[in-house]
A and B are shown apart, each in its own frame.
Chain A
Amino acid sequence: MAYAYLFKYIIIGDTGVGKSCLLLQFTDKRFQPVHDLTIGVEFGARMITIDGKQIKLQIWDTAGQESFRSITRSYYRGAAGALLVYDITRRDTFNHLTTWLEDARQHSNSNMVIMLIGNKSDLESRREVKKEEGEAFAREHGLIFMETSAKTASNVEEAFINTAKEIYEKIQEGVFDINNEANGIKIGPQHPTTNSTLSGSQGGQHAGGGCC
């Protein structure tokens, strides 16, 4: 299908906070209570419309365990947006946000839009992190913030779409150089039938071609 832009997203955050479930809810509109564990990276894609323009989101869903950080780091390159997720019922996942943010800032494009997400908002009785704390953290670090529930689908659509809106605005303002694919944005194909037009924007992680 033809699209005006392609944005690469990366979903990051501690293990078990619901990254894969958010992606599944966004792409397939369903919730899987027991989801397979993610090893390495998994992928999702969906078309959205912003300002009357078709935008294709290409989403990289990463493994959350600390040990995998060195692998995850190579996936930031070429991402236009990041969803940084914590679990409102597990304070430690909120406490680790700073290190995630450092990692993201260090390995990505400086214009990358970061959306902070407090997931599992349906589990109000088990809440350990107040909504205000999430808001304060986001304000302090210049992030957008939302609480979501991958289970009830509350705010899931909004989280992905608002991130895209922000990126889109940055394009309009000329902040992003859309001709530089390292920014994680690709202009849609002129001829929708060719496949090769996707190349370039996604891999991104090689230093010199050849090996991996």
Chain B
Amino acid sequence: HNVAQRGVQVSDCLRLCSVHRKRRRRTTWMSPRNLEFEPLSTTALILEDRPANLPAKSLEETQRHKMEYDEMVAGAKRREMKEAQRKKRQMKERHRQEDIISNAMVVWNNEILPHWDNVYVSGTRRVRELWWQGLPPSVRGRVWSLAIGNELNITPELYEIFLSRAKEKWRSYSETSSVNDSESDGGASLADRESSLDLIKLDISRTFPSLFIFQKGGPYHDLLHSVLGAYTCYRPDIGYVQGMSFIAAVLILNLEEAEAFITFANLLNKPCQMAFFRVDHELMLKYFAAFEVFFEENLPRLFSHFQTNNLTPDLYLIDWIFTLYSKSLPLDVACRVWDVFCRDGEESLFRTGLGILRLFEEVLLQMDFIHIAQFLTRLPEDLQAHTLFTAMANTHMISRSRRWAQVFSALMKDVNKEMDKNSSPALRS
């Protein structure tokens, strides 16, 4: 019933939004019609003669003022007409987008999802195209979980088991910590507690703080806590690693609890995510190196600008890859990036990164180290999905006729060779 309740909340929210939008639409529709006769902002502007206690205007002056007045009114009219037209265009575009989404929803629900296995395996051009345009929010979670799959064969029951273990741990922790709070320091038990329990609590409040839904008292606070807690019990060898809370949060926003956990665990089990969340530095460097191959190929000028400024990809990619862009991009744009990630896999994450660099290439070329570093670790909040996706579409993941996977495995072979020779001098500790 939990899920059903949430469904109700969400649909209520959607209804509210659409009512709100309709109301706004009506007011914007009213104004352009009135405009022709009575520009709103200029009705208060009245041309008057000078007060009686001042010398009267000369005829010439009166005429000049009349002309100036007319020009001002005409100018204001023009501006308002333009603004009204812009709004009309915007509204049209929004309607168009809404139509596209509702059409897409029908196609996903009736044609694609019922035949998932066939469609997905064949990966038709049409489906891929539809996918690139963005999954309709109502099917997004389902498509994500199907695309990520469940190689680990986790069942909802297994989730419940790990969740109750996590709850057991929290209970015993809160009991012991209230008894001997500051006395017990050092030791493995503390490290264990710090890495899993305290930290999860601390980080949940720092996950999408501006949304106010994961913070204490927020509707999804406990859910996020549960999913992360269950994961640390399921994979104690990995435990909780910062960045996970963002991934779990995005999944919780799109999937029901157990399904979110299953998708979360399977997502983290992918090779790229595993390399990052294990903080396998050597392997991470290989991903960065592969990224640089495509960076140089796609954006040679920016690449050399970054090189002269010593701006290495780890400085910005770590945040981007760890959170799958959910922390650095606006949430709606991040969801579009996740759509493509579910379609194309890890390669798309690096393609997104290159898309961002391409989108801001001209600006970045004018910046020095610190400004680039600041810019890339705090991207503009008004970044639009369609501009990013155009930049991504113009990014080619082929270098000397090798694809991402080939470039990456070639770099991995280098590691093995180096290891054979018993030397890995280039790698930082």
CB of B241 within 8 A of CB of A65, answer yes
CB distance from A129 to the nearest CB of B (A): 9
Of A45, A67, A92, the contact of B242 (CB 8 Å cutoff): A67
Nearest CB of A to B166, in Å: 19
Supposing A70-B281, A211-B285 touch, asked if A40 and B318 sit within 8 A by C-beta, the answer is yes
With A16-B202, A211-B292 known to touch, is A66 a contact of B195 (CB < 8 Å)?
A: yes
Q: In the complex the two chains form, what is the Cα distance from A138 to B370 in whole Å?
A: 31
Which one of A43, A209, A212 has the greatest number of beta carbons of chain B within 10 Å?
A212
Interface string of B172-190 (1 = CB under 8 A from A): 0000000000100110001
- On whether the beta carbons of A203 and B369 are closer than 8 Å, the reply is yes
Which residues of the partner chain A approach B239 to less than 8 Å between Cβ atoms?
67
Q: Of A40, A42, A71, which contacts B378 at CB under 8 A?
A: A42
Q: How far is the CB of B62 from chain A (nearest CB, A)?
A: 53
Which residues of the other chain, A, contact B426 by a CB distance below 8 angstroms?
207-208, 210-211
**Binary interface profile of B, 244-278, with partner A (CB < 8 Å = 1, else 0)?**
01100000000000000000000000000000000
Residue of A nearest to B293 (CB): A211
Question: Does any Cβ of A come within 8 Å of B93's Cβ?
Answer: no
Contact A92 B190 (CB under 8 A): yes
Q: Can you name the residue of chain A whose Cβ is closest to the Cβ of B427?
A: A207
Give the residue of B191, B285, B309, B373 whose beta carbon is less than 8 angstroms from that of A66: B191
Interface string of B355-368 (1 = CB under 8 A from A): 00000000000111
Point out the residues of chain A lying under 8 angstroms from B327, CB to CB: 36-37, 39
A73 at the interface (CB under 8 A from B): yes
Enumerate B203-217 residues with CB–CB distance to A below 8 Å.
Answer: 203, 205-207, 209, 215
> Per-residue 0/1 for B385-403: is the Cβ within 8 Å of any A Cβ (1 yes, 0 no)?
0000000000000000000
B370:A15 contact, CB within 8 angstroms: no
The reply to whether A15 and B202 form a contact with Cβ atoms under 8 Å apart is: yes
Interchain nearest-CB distance for A85 vs B (Å): 15
User: Which chain A residues border B378 with CB–CB below 8 Å?
Assistant: 42
Instruction: Annotate A5-42 by CB proximity to B: 1 below 8 A, 0 otherwise.
Output: 00000000001100000000000000000111101111
B70 interfacial contact with A, CB 8 Å: no
CB distance from B180 to the nearest CB of A (A): 12
Q: Which of A35, A40, A66, A210 has the most CB of B within 10 A?
A: A40
Residue A162 lies at the interface, judged by CB distance under 8 Å to chain B: no
Q: Are A207 and B206 in contact (CB under 8 A)?
A: no
Which of A116-124, A150-158, A164-172, A194-202 interfaces with chain B? A194-202
Complex CA–CA separation, A73 to B199 (angstroms) = 21
Would A202 and B425 count as touching, CB distance under 8 A? no
Residues of A within 8 Å of B191, CB to CB, are 66
A182 sits at the interface (CB 8 A):
no
Interface residues of B, CB < 8 Å — how many?
A: 56
> Shortest beta-carbon distance, B298 to chain A, in Å?
17
Given A203-B309, A212-B288, also A70-B205 (CB < 8 A): no
Say if the beta carbon of A177 comes within 8 Å of chain B. no
By the criterion CB–CB under 8 Å, are A212 and B289 in contact?
yes
Cβ–Cβ < 8 Å partners of A35 in chain B: 206, 209
A15 to B373, CA, bound (A): 21
Q: Chain B contacts of A110 at CB under 8 A?
A: none
* B-chain residues with CB within 8 Å of residue A63 when the two chains form the complex: 242
Could you tell me the distance in whole angstroms from the C-beta of B375 to the nearest C-beta in chain A? 9
Pick from B307, B310, B427: contact of A204, CB below 8 A: B310
Which residues 317-356 in B have Cβ within 8 Å of A in the complex?
Answer: 318-319, 322-323, 327
Assembly CA distance A205 to B315 (angstroms): 11
**A191 interface residue (CB < 8 Å to B):** no
Give the chain B neighbours of A199 by CB distance below 8 A.
308-310, 368-369
CB contacts (< 8 Å) of B309 on chain A: these are 196, 198-199, 202-203
Checking A44, A91, A202 against B369 with a beta-carbon cut-off of 8 angstroms, the contacting residue is A202
Is there an interface contact between A71 and B285, defined as CB atoms closer than 8 Å? no
Check A58–B281 contact: CB distance below 8 A.
no
Contact (Cβ within 8 A) A73 B369: no
Interface assignment of A53: CB less than 8 Å from any CB of chain B: no
Which residues of A have CB within 8 Å of B138? none
> Chain A's nearest CB lies how many Å from the CB of B209?
4
- Report which of B186, B195, B246, B315 forms a contact with A40, defined as CB distance below 8 A: B315
Enumerate chain A residues within 8 angstroms of B125, measured Cβ to Cβ: none
Q: Say whether B279 contacts A71, CB under 8 Å.
A: yes
| B216-252 to A contact mask, C-beta < 8 Å, 1/0 | 0000000000000000000000010111011000000
* Residues of A bordering B, CB below 8 Å: 15-16, 34-37, 39-45, 58, 63, 65-68, 70-71, 73-74, 91-92, 95, 128, 195-196, 198-200, 202-212
- Show 28 A/B contacts (Cβ-Cβ < 8 Å), sorted by A: A34-B205, A34-B206, A37-B245, A37-B327, A39-B242, A39-B319, A40-B314, A40-B318, A40-B322, A42-B374, A42-B377, A43-B373, A58-B369, A67-B241, A67-B242, A71-B281, A73-B428, A92-B185, A202-B369, A202-B373, A203-B311, A204-B310, A205-B312, A205-B428, A211-B426, A212-B285, A212-B292, A212-B312
Contacts A39-B319, A71-B318, A199-B308 supplied; 19 other A-B pairs, CB < 8 Å = A35-B206, A36-B209, A39-B322, A43-B374, A58-B369, A67-B242, A67-B279, A70-B279, A70-B281, A71-B281, A95-B186, A195-B367, A198-B368, A209-B307, A210-B289, A211-B285, A211-B288, A211-B426, A212-B314
